[in-house]
Amino acid sequence: MSEPMEHVPTVIVDNVHLTYKVAGRHARRGGPAALRRMVTREQRPGMREIKAVRGVSLVAWRGEAIGLIGPNGSGKSTLLRAIAGLMPPEQGAIYTLGQPSLLGVAAALMNDMTGDRNIVLGCLAMGMTPAEVREHYDAICEFAGIGDFIALPMNTYSSGMAARLRFAIAATKSHDVLLIDEALATGDAEFRRRSEGRIRELRAQAGTVFLVSHSLGVVRETCQRAIWLEKGIIVADGEAEAVVDAYEARHDPDALAVRLAAAKAGGKMRVVDEPSAI
């Protein structure tokens, strides 16, 4: 991988631990217990901590598109939420240049409202002026490509259509840091191709893009760097092709494939930790 052009860091993740607190099976719930806790200010008993990310460090540079890969529950989405500033790290710190925008699959905009209302409101919420919204409106409609559905409430949309519209809105502005969480997974092939093009454009506009995807093909095509997470720890970080190859090999049951792939990749990637040792 060549050196990023100006070498400006946009995201620095410094030894970050992220923890979810959830009520475990034996947690005492219900009114009296809750009231007592309020009075005594005691921690909820039976609260379990789920360590989603355990000591991750990385630096993302301007102009990079980074794919985050890993099995379900490996902490990819959690890490994105933390970079977006929506979740405080338990330990460590995250610094960003500009305001990162998170584009996730679970996120609905305003379900009761029509698509065109959502476009206007979404753009205004991102801080555009009404004039800028008018200017971009047609382009967004066209990019989303959902036709007459634009005049219907979003709760009538299929998940794919909703994802297309959300992506179209968020991709209007050139973000300093755009975090995409499986947002393209529900789109069809044609939309995926267009959004991949858009991601490349955003990257060219000197932003940084993080992409979480289970579709390894998308990561290969849109990202030049990939980070492989497993159980909250970075397994490998490097050139997308090499990391994805290694990831694929790992999920062949043969663990040796990791080292084989690493060897094949030569100096392009470094195996940080053996997945079996985690």
Partner 1 sequence: MTDVQAGSAQRPEVDVSRLVAQYGLKRAGARPNIVDYTRQLWGRRHFMGEFSRANSAVGYSRSTLGQAWQVLTPLLNATVYYLIFGVLIGTKRGVHNYIAFLVIGIFIFTFTQSSMIDGARAISSNLGLTRVLHFPRAVLPVSSTLVALRQLLISLIVLIPIVLITGERPRLSWLLLVPVIALQALFCLGIACAIARIGAKVPDTSQILPFVMRTWLYASGVFYSISAFTKHRGHLVKMLLQINPGGVYVELARNALLKSPPPLPHYEWLYAVGWALVALIGGYAFFWQAEEQYGRV
> Could you say whether residue 109 binds partner 1 (CB under 8 A)?
yes
**Residues 46 and 28: beta-carbon distance below 8 Å:** yes
Indicate which single residue of 30, 32, 127, 253 sits in contact with partner 1 (rule: CB under 8 A).
127
Distance from C-alpha of 38 to C-alpha of 96, rounded to nearest angstrom: 36
**Residues 169 and 113: beta-carbon distance below 8 Å:** no
- Least distance CB 145 / partner 1 (angstroms): 20
Backbone φ and ψ of 20, nearest 5°: -95, 140
> Could you say whether residue 12 binds partner 1 (CB under 8 A)?
yes
Distance from C-alpha of 67 to C-alpha of 226, rounded to nearest angstrom: 4
- Least distance CB 137 / partner 1 (angstroms): 13
2 beta partners: none
Enumerate residues 132-161 that contact partner 1 by CB under 8 A.
153
Indicate which single residue of 49, 135, 188, 273 sits in contact with partner 1 (rule: CB under 8 A).
273
Interface with partner 1: number of residues (CB under 8 A): 68
Distance from C-alpha of 196 to C-alpha of 223, rounded to nearest angstrom: 10
Distance from C-alpha of 235 to C-alpha of 135, rounded to nearest angstrom: 44
> Could you say whether residue 121 binds partner 1 (CB under 8 A)?
yes
Residues 6+ apart with CB under 8 A from 4: 61, 62, 63, 64
3 versus 42: smaller Cβ distance to partner 1: 3
Indicate which single residue of 24, 45, 46, 130 sits in contact with partner 1 (rule: CB under 8 A).
130
- CA distance to 13, 123, 137, per residue, from 131 (Å): 37, 11, 10
Distance from C-alpha of 62 to C-alpha of 6, rounded to nearest angstrom: 7
- Here's the x/- map for partner 1, 217-236, by CB under 8 A: it reads as --------x-x-----xx--
- Here's the x/- map for partner 1, 66-105, by CB under 8 A: it reads as ----------------xxxxxxx----xxxxx-xxxxxx-
**Residues 269 and 250: beta-carbon distance below 8 Å:** no
- Rounded to the nearest angstrom, the gap between the alpha carbon of residue 80 and the centroid of all alpha carbons in its chain is 5
Q: CB count, 10 Å around CB of 107?
A: 13
> Could you say whether residue 14 binds partner 1 (CB under 8 A)?
yes
151 versus 190: smaller Cβ distance to partner 1: 151
> Could you say whether residue 253 binds partner 1 (CB under 8 A)?
no
> Could you say whether residue 255 binds partner 1 (CB under 8 A)?
no
Tokens 């991601």 correspond to 199
> Could you say whether residue 4 binds partner 1 (CB under 8 A)?
yes
> Could you say whether residue 166 binds partner 1 (CB under 8 A)?
yes
Long-range CB pairs of 155-158, under 8 A, 24+ apart, other chains included: 155/111, 155/112, 157/115
Tell me which stretch binds partner 1 (CB under 8 A): 139-147, 192-200, 201-209, 264-272: 264-272
Interface residue list for partner 1 (CB under 8 A): 1, 3-4, 7-10, 12, 14-15, 55-59, 61, 82-88, 93-97, 99-104, 106-113, 117, 120-122, 124-127, 129-130, 153, 166, 170, 225, 227, 233-234, 237-239, 267-270, 272-273
